[in-house]
Chain A
Amino acid sequence: MACECGNKKESLDKYLAPLREVLKNYEKEEKYLIPILQEAQDEYGYLPEEVLKEIASYLDLSLSQVYGVVTFYTQFHLEPRGKNIIRVCMGTACHVRGGADVLAAVKDALGIENGETTKDLKFTLETVACIGACGLAPVIMINDDTHGRLTPEKIPGILASYK
């Protein structure tokens, strides 16, 4: 699942080259795990298994230990992420004003569940507790853009503008 380059050592080396550049800047100490993971995720967009294995060997940790840390923090992702990240607000104000219907409309339009990414890697769907734009409820954010006062009918049009 990790990389599309198959198992050949050469292509794996090529795939891991950017990571190895990152690792050069860190000593082999457990305390650097989180900064390394952050930089690796910036590099690859997510944290593929091969990348985690390489980090584990570098820091002399087991893969389970690294996996434990990655799954603890919501900032880390084990799956590729879409080009556009949609965050649907589930805060109280949005909830009261139909946030759930908006979420359902997004799910319908993209054919994915919360936390998933579309096959074409265009969109990732997430829910968040509160965006802090309650005056505009119900709201969603796509990347850095806020879309407020939504109704389910408006969703397809908004999504289309990001394709």
Chain B
Amino acid sequence: MSRVVYLDNNATTRVADEVAAVMLPFYTELYGNPSSMHAFGGQVARHIAQARDQVAAILGADPTEILFVSCGSESDNMAIRGVLEANPDKRHVISTRVEHPAVLSLCNHLRKRGYEVTLLGVDGEGRLDLAELRNALRPDTAVVSVMYANNETGVVFPVEEIGQIVKAHGAAFHVDAVQAVGKLPLDLSQSTIDLLSLSGHKLHAPKGVGVLYIRKGIRLVPLIIGGHQERNRRGGTENVASIVGLGRACELARAALREENDRVRRLRDKLEDGILHSVPNVRVNGNREHRLPNTTSISFEYIEGEAILLLLDQLGICASSGSACTSGSLEPSHVLRAMGVPFTASHGSIRFSLSRYNTEAEIDYVLEHLPPLIERLRNISPFWKDYQEQLAKRS
């Protein structure tokens, strides 16, 4: 494939060159075990400590509150299960219908294990109703887990408002911030958040490394029981290279956050506005104001998402879809369904998610090629013609 225009950064991101560079030595000469008593291994521990500082800095946290884990999903699991196991008398969990499967599937699993789970709904723009949360909270609510920003629509939840309600009820507050870290400024020193999850591969660090932030004083039972690594909170020899890479990635993201995101937002808006202007019968899914700067979920009515993706792929354009055929299930994405997006639109939804590596020329390329491609599929669709005939009849 000659040209690749990568607009699927909410799925995963390219490892930054600067990140890859600092990782390499840990695959070659610096292969020691950080737990070893000898200096050869011990020197590695210093690099992990540095990475911990770097992660703490982007979160506004204390380094002792940073726990390295193997991915975002492990972080989510450890937060929720860790709280439940530490509070065996509390059997109620609250989350939302639009969470990532890392949380949602866990909720379903917990239900089968006898826990009570309340999943909060969202409105047509993907926003929560905080009154519903207030009503759902109970004395035996152990944990409330809410995502910071939605991976499909980019919609950002008002986490601090939510946190205040949750804390007033004495439950632990977990936030899946996998899509937010590096895209939105965070300061956990001034926050109601008790537990926060992030994942390396969403911010230009490698796959297979994540973090669970655990506020001082929050008790958790570990998920992986083993050696004394991570101060006895997660057994297993550290994934040194990836941890070091994640540290560097956080540093890069922090330094560039404002400037990069302004630029990314401009490109995203250009893409979105361009599509809205050049293609009829499209709609943006999710509230456009409270949204990540890099994400747009656009529905192309009367056609199906996988077909769009295949044609985009032929042009080297990478995106993803909330359509049934691509989700591996037969129904459109649970996020769009929770929002009540009509079927005419949900099956044809495409998510474009940008990163700092995208250029204006790439956006122009997409804007040039997308409209004819949509038209081509609409000319195959029986419903498009029906719709046009209806329009003609009406006028």
Whether chains A and B associate is no
Instruction: Write the residues of chain B forming the contact surface with A, with a CB cutoff of 8 angstroms.
Output: none
